[in-house]
Structure 1
Amino acid sequence: MPAEQSLARQALNVPNMLSLLRLAGVPVFLWLVLGPEEDGWALAILIFSALTDWLDGKLARWLNQMSRLGQLLDPAADRLYILATLVAFLIREIVPWWVVVPLIVREAVLGACVLVLRRKGFAPPEVTYIGKGATFVLMYAFPFLLVTDGHSALAAFARPVAYAFTAWGAVLYLWSGALYVIQTVRAISRDRGAAASG
């Protein structure tokens, strides 16, 4: 019971509440993009998500409110937003399948790595600066991509910016995924080596 109360208190700190709000925004964003196609409101949610993704980490350090729950919530919210946005943009034909599929495969591979590591008694791979940078760039690419859906002057202006951010973010995202796979392989190799020597 004390652990549950501790988790409840952690959930009420400012950074974790921002992460929870970000998570709650995912289904709303999907409905806005795929249902009534209210892109203005969907854009507002994407901008809010990108800002809070940056802000929750800063606040956790400034307010000394870093927590285990926050370490789980923040990347979970990021991954869910990225996957949901990619799928929505694919359905709307805002981005082509050959951009979306490698990024989704990357997530599936990382999920398999986490399962393997947990089965072996290891913690998930450590988050790298490249991974954080990739998430940051993609989260800022998505609002620009949404604006490109149309033939307005704003869409024409946003298109090169969106494509540049998307290309940069996708490369970093795949690179960080490869680094996480390498971490996993090394951990399992060390474990096997220790078992063999023991």
Structure 2
Amino acid sequence: MARTATQETRQGSVNEFENLGEWQTSTGNILRLKARRKTGYASVWLDYNGHPIKIGHAIHAGGVVREMRWEAPSNEQTPAWKVQQRSHIASLIADWHAGNTRPVQPAPLPTSVLGVFDLDGFRFAVEPTLAAEHAVLSVVNTENALMPVADLLHDNGRICGLVTRPGWKGTPDERRRHWRSEAEHILTLAAQQGRL
């Protein structure tokens, strides 16, 4: 999941690398993307105990990733992992090509958020509303903005009902059960701590 994205615009020779951005994988590893202007080549680096290790590269043209290559042992990652990383890389390259800059640090989560959890490559947040028995489950984007996906009715943290918002009605039951379980844990803990 993307945690932080940075972009430094350095004017200079074609030989200078530019840091296009960084993100955090679902396992907590920090990856960085570096590129040089007019080369069509970008390299992916893993931050390993403060030392950068090259784990792959992307060939791009016109702001579009044409090919990804992973070095061992990253080439043994699951296809889902590779697709997720390619998505981050493609977004950073498209922004770089278009001249868009990304914020150095995303805005902090609202103070009303009771807790967060990660599921299927997405980060979700639970926050209460003015009604004591109502809470909202939201997906958190890379800028830490919240987009509501479901309303939660609860009794001191124990969820009595979960109703998905429009656009999320087709969410599979298994995923809804995960949402309910994680949100109930957060709400129950918040109720015990007197934060509801």
Provide the TM-score with structure 2 as the length reference: 0.26
Provide the TM-score with structure 1 as the length reference: 0.26
The structure in which a higher percent of residues are helix is: 1
Kindly name which structure, 1 or 2, has the bigger radius of gyration based on alpha carbons.
2
Which has the higher relative contact order, 1 or 2, with Cα contacts under 8 A spaced 6 or more apart? 1
